[in-house]
Amino acid sequence: MDLLQAEATADLIDAGSPAQRRRALQQLERGLSDRLAALRAAILELEALIAYDIDFPEEDEGPVSPERVRGAWSAVRGRVADLLRTAPEGERLREGALLVIAGPPNAGKSSLFNALLGTERAIVTEIPGTTRDAIEAQAVIEGFPFRLVDTAGLRDSDERVERLGIEVSKKYLGAADLVLFCEEGEKGRGTGDGESFIAACTAPVVRVRTKADLLPVPRHSSPCPVSAVTGEGLPELRRQLAEVAFGRLLALGDVEPVVTRARHRSALERALAELDAFWAARTGGVDAAATATHLRAAVLALDDLIGTVTPEDVLDRVFAAFCVGK
């Protein structure tokens, strides 16, 4: 068992959703390990080309063509970059996507929060401003893990306690992976309270028109009409949330490996930086032996990731999750 498989064992134990379990099992069965081993072998082959060109320039085959070196470098760099691009959603899968439900007061946020959660977690009344603080809970939507957050209504207020709640809402909006913005059924897009707060968001925003059971909102209007009372629009909303938060993983399926930890991402970033440094040095006229040191550093970064050569502090962090020795 390598270090990645040990981490996958911990992830499998902690998994709270089907998607987390499938991904942990795939990693436990060496899905990510085999991909990294193939990348390591490809970098070593590129390093061998450079070594051959240095040590045996007069052999019958002649010097290695620049096109061959460029092709080998471009191929392995692309594969490392592709794997690295899975990191945001892979880490989100392991931790749970932070879904912040926002909107003006009395827009049905708490009712929608309870409906997505499947239990009465937040207090719901007809009085605007009932929610004064953020309420967070774990949920599984379309098989994927989410951390749902119900927030205070967004509006300009002079009431001290409500204003503090709105400040908390803004902090959650700044950290969100995805924002679910609720608009009341009779209000059009861009006309309600909270629009200025949402305009400053960097996370993707999914808009819904709430309380569809109270008003004759067209079925196919935009934003999507939903009702926490009748359940109208909730299946479509769940699918949309999963697609926005985990679209890349849905496209890859369960066969392709993904990066699920910050440690993985950091090692791949180091490997990619060394590959780029190799090419910059080669095209900059640096001595071939010196350029090859970047390839060796890229291999060492992957070795750290797989666990071939692993610092003690990394091992301590990994196995602390198992409470070894306690």
Please report the pLDDT score of residue 122 as a whole number: 55
75 shares its domain with 123: no
Domain-embedded: residue 35: yes
Co-location of 242 and 123 in the same domain: yes
CA–CA separation, 205 and 115 (whole Å): 19
What's CA 44's distance to the chain center, in Å?
30
Once rounded to an integer, what is the mean pLDDT over residues 57-81?
A: 82
pLDDT tens digits for range 250-277: 988 888 999 999 999 999 999 999 999 9
Identify the domain boundary among 197, 218, 252: 252
* Residue 106 and residue 243 in one domain: yes
Number of domains making up the chain:
2
Claim to verify: residue 142 and residue 273 sit in the same structural domain: no
Residues 55 and 102 occupy one common structural domain: no
pLDDT confidence of 149, banded at 50, 70, 90? very high
Choose one of 232, 252, 272: the last residue of a domain: 252
Q: What is the CATH number of the domain that holds 111?
A: 3.40.50.300
What is the domain range of residue 274?
3-86+256-320
Domain boundary among 219, 252, 285: 252
The gap between the terminal CA atoms of the chain, to the nearest Å, is 22
Asked if residue 275 is part of any domain, the answer here is yes
| Same domain membership, residue 277 and residue 162 | no
Q: Residue 316 sits in a domain of what CATH number?
A: 1.20.120.430
Query: Is residue 326 in a domain?
Result: no
Same-domain pairing of 129 and 185: yes
The pLDDT value given to residue 325: 47
Q: Would residue 130 count as lying in a domain?
A: yes
Q: What is the pLDDT of residues 82-130, one digit of tens each?
A: 999 999 999 999 999 999 998 888 888 888 999 998 877 555 555 455 5
pLDDT for 221-247, tens place per residue? 667 889 888 988 999 999 999 999 999
Residue 24 resides in a domain: yes
Q: Is the pTM of this model over 0.95?
A: no
Residues 240 and 128 in one domain: yes
| Same domain flag for 118 and 194 | yes
Model pLDDT for residues 291-320, shown as the tens digit of each residue: 999 999 999 999 999 887 555 655 565 566
Residue 276 is encoded by which pair of tokens? 């780029």
Is 325 a domain residue? Answer: no
Q: Are 39 and 134 contained in the same domain?
A: no
Enumerate residues 6+ apart whose C-beta is below 8 A from 269. 84
Q: Are residues 174 and 205 in the same domain?
A: yes
Exposure b/e, 187-202, CB count within 10 A at least 16 = b = eeeeebbbeebbeebe
Q: Give me 326's structure tokens.
A: 């306690």
Integer Cα distance of 83 and 43 in angstroms: 15
pLDDT at residue 326, as a whole number:
41
Domain shared by 186 and 242, yes or no: yes
